Structure 1
Amino acid sequence: MTRALVTGSTAGLGLEFAWQLAGTGHDLVLVARNEGRLHAIAAQIRDVHSVEVDVLAADLSDRRRLDAVARRLTDPVDPIDLLVNNAGYGLRGTFLEVPVEDHERQMDTLMRAVLVLSHAAARVMVQRRRGAILNVSSLAGYTATGPYAASKSWVTVFTESLATELKGTGVTATALLPGFVQTEFHERACMNVEGLPRVTWLKAPYVVEQALKDTAKGQVISIPSVKYRTAGEFSRIAPRSLMRRLASPRWQQRLIEKKVSRARRRASRRDLHAPWQQSEE
């Protein structure tokens, strides 16, 4: 039986990874900041699936706790066969509105933790000639929308570089680049996504299922759904001046105003075609 270590495993995609991996017979090491929630989720998974579930409470922006997770990845007695670097979060506010210390902690989680844990996992996996690393990035990395997008750009490029270095070793590296996924991520970061059409959103179970399939095949870049693969290719090759324009708050505000205007016009047309209601006295 294989064992997977999943960071950020108490919510969103990380929680879905935990459940799907347990469902396919993987023993688990769950990593997150909230120890109480970790134990609760571990108990729930054990009640449903016949797998071992260990927990490791760690704030990955804390280097001491990060090193503890890295040591777990190098344990020769209970080796890790799959590392899922999923931990991450958004910040409320623009770059200048948020204190720089908060940006630093976010970068420590989104980039330094991926670097340190991938390094620890890859070295022991190469010695065993088997294993996989799945780094959760984002299509936001192709945009120009602040430090979060910049960090995801780094995760994608880093994973591509790692995959190249690991070629022929029996170990693979995959970057997952989802678009908008129905999790609590955007709500926690207070992101306004009300104007996005329903078709824009993907469900977490589908995203995780596709990511695990691509990881099993050794695919370097995993982008769930045709629509997002198309959007990702456009974003990758589009002129950077255009991507900066699309990311500007002024352009986004105009887009929202146009959507509101179109919605009002549609409502007006419906009212015009509605049958007249006559009241009886």
Structure 2
Amino acid sequence: MPDQPPRGVALITGATAGLGAAFAARLAAERWDLTLVARDAERLSASAAELRARHGVRVSVLPADLATESGTAAVEDRLRDATEPVELLVNNAGIGLNKAFHGSTLDDELRILRLNVEAVMRLTFAVLPQMTERRSGGVINVSSVSGYGVTAPGSTYTATKAYVINFSESIAQSVRRYGVRVLALCPGFVRTEFHQRAGIPTAGSPGWIWLDAGTVAAKALADLRKGRYVSVPSVRYKIAASALRHTPHGLVRRFSEAGNRFVGRGAR
């Protein structure tokens, strides 16, 4: 309700669409004030206005391209601002490439590394000192169930998501003693703009593989509050993650080379 005090400030990257928008809507409904980060200033302003009108929370916007040095630095500065500390960071921004490494360009490969890996590391690094000092706070890093195995031959997307999983689990263990929680969110296929932007076709894919973005965001927040290090929404993707982790690599390679659609390259 509007008369309830805010729970703190949450900063969300990639906040205007898909999982980012779902996190923003969920957190605003829970009475969080928000800082929304994305490249498109116009979409940011529209999203912020809608959230303010619907939930009565404060929403600020920060247009930034996290694949650039200036964009990442701007968000780092906001996270280090002690006058309005960020209590929850959601590193959601990310991209995929619908091309094999040998057919890609160096610029595209550097962009996916900067956005999916470097920005996640740098923003987490920027926010943790204040969180550990005040002994509260949380970070959600959006990875993918595909980070558990080489599910797309020739693609570096799964490698970037493997980094996010391992990075998040490691940092979570080191900051837990300070009352700070870090979570890797590992969904599968989520109905967002991600696949369209990456040029990944989804026509003909079975309906049962898709997850709802709002449900995924709610599950991630619940798992963060429980102190879990990893959140894999839905039983079917828990099974997929377990299979990727424990199946001999030779068999995983055979399935991936055959284009196994269940854990294919479009998994978010």
Fold similarity call, TM over 0.5 = yes
User: Which structure would you say has the larger RCO, counting Cα contacts within 8 Å and 6 or more residues apart?
Assistant: 2
Q: Which runs of 5+ in 1 are unaligned?
A: 257-281
Structure 2 CA distance for aligned equivalents of residues 192 and 238 of structure 1: 27
Which residue of structure 1 lines up, in the alignment, with residue 97 of structure 2? 91
Which TM-score applies when normalising by structure 2?
0.91
One-letter code of the match for 1:126? T
Which residue of structure 1 lines up, in the alignment, with residue 207 of structure 2? 198
Measured after TM superposition, the shift of residue 71 of structure 1 is 1.2
Structure 1 CA distance for aligned equivalents of residues 184 and 101 of structure 2: 25
Give the match's secondary structure for 1:219. coil
Structure 2 CA distance for aligned equivalents of residues 20 and 51 of structure 1: 12
Structure 2 CA distance for aligned equivalents of residues 246 and 143 of structure 1: 11
Structure 2 CA distance for aligned equivalents of residues 191 and 239 of structure 1: 28
1:74 is aligned, of 55, 70, 80, to 80
Residue by residue over 1:105-161, the C-alpha shift from the partner in whole angstroms, topping out at 9 and shown as x without a partner, is 111000000000001111110011100000000001012122010000000000000
Give the match's secondary structure for 1:175. strand
Q: Which runs of 5+ in 2 are unaligned?
A: 1-5, 263-268
Which residue of structure 1 lines up, in the alignment, with residue 58 of structure 2? 52
Give the match's secondary structure for 2:124. helix
Q: Indicate the RMSD between aligned Cα atoms, in angstroms.
A: 1.5
Structure 2 CA distance for aligned equivalents of residues 10 and 157 of structure 1: 27
Structure 2 CA distance for aligned equivalents of residues 121 and 244 of structure 1: 38
Measured after TM superposition, the shift of residue 195 of structure 1 is 4.4
Structure 2 CA distance for aligned equivalents of residues 245 and 189 of structure 1: 24
One-letter code of the match for 1:183? T
Which residue of structure 1 lines up, in the alignment, with residue 132 of structure 2? 126
Q: Structure 1 residue runs of 4+, over 4 Å off?
A: none
Measured after TM superposition, the shift of residue 54 of structure 1 is 0.4
Which TM-score applies when normalising by structure 1?
0.87
2:28 is aligned, of 22, 33, 58, to 22
Which residue of structure 1 lines up, in the alignment, with residue 163 of structure 2? 154
Residue by residue over 1:67-115, the C-alpha shift from the partner in whole angstroms, topping out at 9 and shown as x without a partner, is 1101111111111000000001112322222211111011100000000
Answer yes or no: is the 8 Å Cα contact 1:143–1:247 preserved in 2.
Answer: no
Structure 2 CA distance for aligned equivalents of residues 159 and 212 of structure 1: 15
One-letter code of the match for 2:62? L
State how many pairs are aligned: 253
Structure 2 CA distance for aligned equivalents of residues 219 and 168 of structure 1: 14
Residue by residue over 1:16-35, the C-alpha shift from the partner in whole angstroms, topping out at 9 and shown as x without a partner, is 11111001000000000111
Residue by residue over 1:247-275, the C-alpha shift from the partner in whole angstroms, topping out at 9 and shown as x without a partner, is 21xx229x89xxxxxxxxxxxxxxxxxxx
One-letter code of the match for 1:19? A
Structure 1 CA distance for aligned equivalents of residues 45 and 163 of structure 2: 32
